[in-house]
Every structure is written in structure tokens, then in C-alpha cells.
Amino acid sequence: MSGREQPTVTQGRVAELPAALRAAGIAARPDAGPVGPASLLMVPPDNWGKAAGVAAGLGLRWSAVWGEHRPPEILVTAVLFGQDGHLLLRTALPEAGAELTSQTPHYPAANRPERYIQDMFGVYFVDHPDGRRWMCHQAWWQDQFPLRKDFPVAGTPEAETPPDYEYPFQTIVGEGVYEIPVGPVHAGIIEPGHFRFQAVGETILAMEEHLGYVHRGVEKIAEGRDLAGLARLAGRVSGDSTVAHTWAACQAAERALGVTVPARALALRAIMAERERIANHLGDIGAIGNDVGFTFAQVQFSRLRELWQRQSLSAFGHRLLMDRIVPGGVAIDLAAPMIEAFQAEATQLRAEIEELLPLLLEYPSLQDRLRGTGVLAPVLARRLGALGFVGRASNLQDDLRRDAPYPPYDRLRVEVPAYRQGDVAKRLRVRGDEIGVALGLIEQMLGDLPEGPLLAHCPPSGHECAGLGLIEGWRGETVCYLRLDAAGRVLRYFPRDPSWLNWPVLESLIHDNIVPDFPVCNKSVNGSYAGHDL
């Protein structure tokens, strides 16, 4: 049974920020931003960090930051979230000698994204607590910045990229302390990532990640694409979140162009998003069981996921629902016989989940491995900005479908399960609860599926325009910023996967656990390598 906990930290309102900035002596001014449910404030570069301190004092959640090269300037934009929705903070600085105060001292979640901006745009954050490069991996020189406009798409690669073995991992020195390097290549089919453990006996004192090994230049190769090409690219940011990222990109484009998407297409998008949520939760519940030797869970939930994805293939033509969302709507309709099949499928899956989940939640040997393992305290979860099911297991209840609803969720009732314990057991339980919520939403939408067209035309605007996409994917809040030229081609595309915020959470919750519990802690978070590495 899902739980509805009370918030542990008071979240402020973004509407209060302008007055608070003025009171702090920061000359913030409203400005035109990307079209979407967020206003924009311009702040001076030397007050960038101070403005974050004011926002943190109000209890606003930090969500994302991106850079944009508009010669001779570089724009840096951050996203904040409060009770009343989103707000953008932006600053502009000259490209030559670009320096900026850091928001990381106030929002630890900004740590890696700011280092990414430093690597990609050459913006130096003067008071950043960690000056190490994050995304280079020897693929380009330290004075080259791939997301500036003068950097070629193909880069300037050497015949062979040198090995990246000199990253200065932090170490702990003491009697009995030893180091365990894991990755970046793993004994499985997962993508590459490096984990460096400091341990005594079996107890983990600290773990540090190094990611970025599958950086594909997504943002760079997006430049110049038409909207159809952008949608295909967005669907491949992270393959298990193809619906969330494609919807976010299309939503940003449609807002920028002033396009109204047909009601039937919006409902079908939401059905696909909930199917994506259910498929991934089913797979993860089974994998969590497998990581502690509970094969029964792996077998049963893998079976359910396979049946679910086969039905997606039958109805929409793709197991993962890739390329089903397109600019202006969807690429395929849901035939009447499939509506009936979906309804029967939801009934059957709910019955199986209601039978299987209590076994997992009550089986003593399994719960002995999951309860109290990988605990993320609510206060720390809030400080790190944990998203989606990771945050909800630690009583962070943000869910855009309910708190900043977009069509068709603005006419649906979305329940948000949440717990306080913040351990692997509750991260598993939230997944189970969310499957039930998603099934209910699918049934509501199938029972009231609007008639009408599937596509709206998306003509170029004839001038530069920008839009903001915000979608609650299965991992949590998925952000997209998009700027188009007069012909409707991409000038800047920035996708922010929830994994950017959830990967650092894994480093925190693993402290004082034993080394053999790392796999299950890792799977309970299940960050996307590709979604982070871009």
C-alpha cells in the first residue's frame, strides 16, 4: 500500500525570489526567456553564486544549468523549482576570459554540471570547490571547448585517443584502508563508468564516480537539424527513457513555435510515458532481487516486463516506443482492438503485481538484505536534489505530473507515493507503488481517449525562438531547452536527464555499507550512463 508522507523541508515559491534578490542587493531584472511555464530573471555574473544562496534560503530546488554560446557572449541559465513551478536564472558574460561565481556552495547538485560547462564552454567558476575536469577524457585539449560555435563537429582527434588514467581520485589514508577500482569496463552489458572505493575490511568509507566515457556529442550534432531529426536524436539520449526525452524535446519545440498538439496525440503520449515507466520499474524490481540472489523476483518481473514490451510492439510498432512521438503529435494511432487489449492487460498486470509485491515486501531473507541498506536521509536527499523514485523513497515528493501539470495530466489525478526511510527496500516499494499509479492513469486515459487528429503542423516561425520542455519521466523530472533559427533548425539543444542529479546520490548513500551491497545499491538508483554522458 502506498504511503503519503508529510514534507520534511519547507519548499518556497519562485514568485518570492525577485523580491528576495532585491532585498539582498542583487539587481535582477525580468527578461524574455524560452516559451514555457517558467519566467526568467537576468542577474549579474558576479552575483550568480549569491543569487543561488538566496534561492536556497527560500527552499527552492535546483534543477539544471546549461551554457549557450552566442558570440561574443556566453549565456548560462539555471532552473529552479518551487511550490508554484519553475523559474530560470540567467547571466551573460564575455566569451574571452569567461569567469563566473559558482552555485555549488549553495546547491551541491550544481557541482558536476558546472564542471561540464567549464569543460565544454571554457567558463571558469572561480569559487568552485572542485576544479578537476569532468568530461574531457583526453578527447580534446584543455584549451578547446567543444560547445563553442567555432569548434568543429568532428573535433580535432588524434589517430588514437590517449588513455585516461590520470584522473586524480580522492583517497583516504589510514591503517587498514585499501582501494578498489571498478570499471570503466564491466563484466556485463552495462555502459562504462568508473567507481573508486576506499574501504576497511568490507565497509565502504567512500566511493567516487568518474563518468563520461560514452560522450557522443549529442548537443553538438543537434545543431542544424530540423525538428524531425531532433526528435530522433532526443529519443536516443537514453534508450530506456526514449519517450521522456522525445516528449520533452517536442514539447520545447511546440512551445517555441506556438503549436497546439491535438488532444488525442497528447493522451497517446502520456499512455506511452506510463508504459515506459511501468516497463522500467518491472525490470528494476527484478534486477534488485537478482543482485541479492533472489532469483524468483528476477524471473517473475522479467517475465512481466517482456510481456508488457511485446504488447507495446504490437500496438505501437516498437518495444521501447522509440520514434513514436514526433513534432506536433504522434506517429501512430491506437486502434480500437488494442484499446481493449490494453485494458485487459492492465487488469492482468495489476492482479499479478498485487500477488507478487507482498511476497517481496514481506519475505524475511530478502528484506534482511534491503532494509537499512543504502540509506539516503530525507535532508540529504533534499540537499542533493534527488529526483523521481529515488527522491520519493526519501520523502521528496516532487512530481511534475501533479505539481506542474502539462496536458493531459492537468485533467488527471496523480498520486505520489513517498516514504521516509530512504533505503533500498523503500526504493523498491516506491517502484511497485508507481506501477499501480501508472496503471490507473492508463485506464483513465483509455476510458476517455479523445477523438481527432494525431498531428499538428509545425511550420518555422520566421524568427529565432526558444522553448522549454519539462516532462516527468520514469527517472524523474526531464528538462529540455531548445532554440531554433528562423528556418526552424536547431541552434541549441540541451537535454537534462534526471541521472545528472541522481548519480551523486549514489556516492552519498553507499557510505558505511559493505562492498557486496554496492550492486543492489547501484541498481536501486539505476542512473543512466548515456543520459549523463551526452
Question: How far apart (Å, rounded) are the C-alpha atoms in residues 258 and 461?
Answer: 9
DSSP E strand stretches across 152-200: 177-182, 194-200
Residue 8 has a pLDDT of: 46
Q: Is residue 58 part of a domain?
A: yes
Residues of the chain with pLDDT under 70: 1-10
Q: What does the pLDDT read at residue 154? A: 83
Sheet of 177-182: strand order equals 177-182, 194-200, 203-210
How high is the pLDDT of residue 95? 92
pTM listed for this prediction: 0.95
In a domain, 64, yes or no: yes
- Please indicate, yes or no, if residue 48 is contained in any of the structural domains: yes
In contact, 44 and 26? CB cutoff 8 Å: yes
pLDDT tens for each residue of 293-338? 999 999 999 999 999 999 999 999 999 999 999 999 999 999 999 9
What's the total number of domains in the chain? 1
Residue pLDDT, tens place only, 351-371: 999 999 999 998 999 999 999
**Is position 258 within any domain?**
no
Q: Does any domain span residue 25? A: yes
Domain that residue 73 falls in? 14-125
Helix (H) or strand (E) holding 439: helix 424-447
d(CA 481, CA 466): 8
Instruction: Specify if 226 maps to a domain.
Output: no
Instruction: State the first-to-last Cα distance of the chain, in angstroms, to the nearest integer.
Output: 37
For 343, the grid coordinates are: 485494458
C-alpha cell at 472: 516527468
- For every residue of 320-380, DSSP letters joined together read T-TT-EETTEES----HHHHHHHHHHHHHHHHHHHHHHHHHHH-HHHHHHHTTSS---HHH
Q: For residue 501, is it within any domain?
A: no
Distance, CA of 227 to CA of 274 (rounded, Å) = 24
Residue 430 within any structural domain of the chain = no
The CATH number linked to 37 is 3.30.460.80
Per-residue pLDDT, 10: 63
